[in-house]
């Protein structure tokens, strides 16, 4: 299976997406319900010298600072928790440039036998409040140009009990008590934070395949739809996911 987290929602106002720890740098805000790679998304970073935390927009798809390709190379959108500290593409950003990606929900897809396209699900908190994903970010200068491009990737880990029936990976979700440690450059390897988030505070529901196209970026993307006929599986005490599925991402 893939290890991707490839679509997010950032619909809350910036003061809420700042998670009560960041000042707003870019005031322009258009709610994004179907945020995709290759787009600018809100990210919280900490200045290593002043400690100031800011909320601004970075491009989703990491370009290492040492990349010599004029187009930025592969631009991975995810980094696996198991290898983020060791792979050359990620290790410098993981050590020195960690960030939070504040979201209202993320999406995963499940392949269901006899059903195409795959069934998408939205996943968020029961409270409806924004929460933080663990990310890393980079500054990259296109060869021969003066402009700097800021990019990020989201770290993934094994799925928790809620997400596991539809996918074997999920983004790393950080608790508020861990924000300081994750953002601080003082700890070069906080890998004990890169674990599945508890299922109990979370919820998951099936949504329309309209989410498959990033251009479909409106509030109705998050509307619950009926499960495919005959699909019943109990997930942490709730009916959520299909019985016959490969579980891989779309």
Residues taking part in catalysis: 5, 108
CA 196 to each of CA 7, 22, 161: distance values in angstroms, whole numbers, following the listed order = 18, 25, 9
CA 140 to each of CA 143, 160, 227: distance values in angstroms, whole numbers, following the listed order = 9, 34, 43
Which helix (H) or strand (E) covers residue 61, if one does?
none
Strand intervals (E) in 62-147: 78-80, 98-103, 105-112, 115-125, 131-141
Question: Helix or strand or coil: residue 132?
Answer: strand
- Residue 168: name the closest of 180, 160, 179 by CA: 160
């Amino acid at each position: 299976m893939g290890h991707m987290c490839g679509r997010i929602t950032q619909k809350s106002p910036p003061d809420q997406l700042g998670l009560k720890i960041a000042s707003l740098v870019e005031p322009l805000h258009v709610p994004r319900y179907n945020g995709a790679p290759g787009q600018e998304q809100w990210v919280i970073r900490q200045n290593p010298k002043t400690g100031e935390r800011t909320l601004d927009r970075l491009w989703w798809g990491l370009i290492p600072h040492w990349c010599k390709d004029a187009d930025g190379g592969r631009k991975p959108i995810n980094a696996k928790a198991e290898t983020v500290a060791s792979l050359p593409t990620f290790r410098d950003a993981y050590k020195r440039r960690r960030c939070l990606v504040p979201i209202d929900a993320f999406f995963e897809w499940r392949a269901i036998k006899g059903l195409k396209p795959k069934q998408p699900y939205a996943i968020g908190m029961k409270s409806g409040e924004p929460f933080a994903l663990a990310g890393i970010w980079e500054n990259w200068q296109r060869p021969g140009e003066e402009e700097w491009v800021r990019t990020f990737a989201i770290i993934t880990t094994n799925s928790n009990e809620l997400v596991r029936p539809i996918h074997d990976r999920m983004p790393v979700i950080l608790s508020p008590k861990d924000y300081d440690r994750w953002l601080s450059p003082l700890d070069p390897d906080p890998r004990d934070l890169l674990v599945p988030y508890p299922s109990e505070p979370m919820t998951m529901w099936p949504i329309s395949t309209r989410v498959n196209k990033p251009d479909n970026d409106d509030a109705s993307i998050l509307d619950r739809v009926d499960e495919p006929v005959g699909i019943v599986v109990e997930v942490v005490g709730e009916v959520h996911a299909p019985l016959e599925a490969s579980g891989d991402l779309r």
